[in-house]
Amino acid sequence: MSDALKALLDSPGFPEGGAWSRRRCATHEKVFDEGDSGCDVFVVLSGRVRVVGQVELDEDRTLRPGYSDLEAGAVFGEMCLFDLQPRSGSVVAIEEAELAVISGDALRAHLDANPAVGYPILKEMMNTLAGRLRTANKRVSSLFAWGLKAHGIDESL
């Protein structure tokens, strides 16, 4: 967890039980599902969770690949702060975990009222999102190349 986010959770102006709460998750417990509404932001305090997607292979087959495993200190669910869209993936605990569940509304209001506190937090979240986007771009490129090779299309390029 970034120092700025830790300071926020420890701040008397952003109290536990008001702006955020703790949630314990058992192994295999869902935190949320892809497509769910809601704008809570989560921080892994202990344990590990896995971000999972859903891939439709055809009408009868669906895969649920794990995109990444997140450990203590990781933030997830933050995209809703920026676009207010439904969840883009599912998250499940892969071992017993404790999460900080931060109200998105409370967080936005606090950051608006305290820009000196908000800037480092938003900067850290944007760095996290940029890193995830770079990883996703590499994976998509690799899958695209694999598909071209698997279908013999790469020979004609």
The CATH number of the domain where 98 resides is what? 2.60.120.10
Arithmetic mean of pLDDT, 80-98: 93
Q: Is 77 left (phi over 0), alpha (psi -120 to 50) or beta?
A: left
Assigned token pair, 29: 């417990």
**Pairing state of beta strands 30-32 and 41-46?**
unpaired
Q: Which one has a higher pLDDT value, 145 or 88?
A: 88
Residue 36: give the domain boundaries: 3-156
Give the pLDDT mean for 24-36. 96
Give the chain's domain count.
1
Separation CA 9–CA 13 (nearest Å): 9
Quote the pTM value: 0.83
Look at 12-16, 89-93, 150-154 and tell me which has the smallest mean pLDDT.
Answer: 150-154
Q: Which helix (H) or strand (E) holds 110?
A: helix 104-113
Work out the number of other CB atoms within 10 angstroms of the CB of residue 102. 25
Taking only the tens place, the pLDDT of each residue in 31-40 is 999 999 999 9
Rounded CA separation 157/154 (Å): 5
Q: Is the pLDDT of residue 157 over 70?
A: no
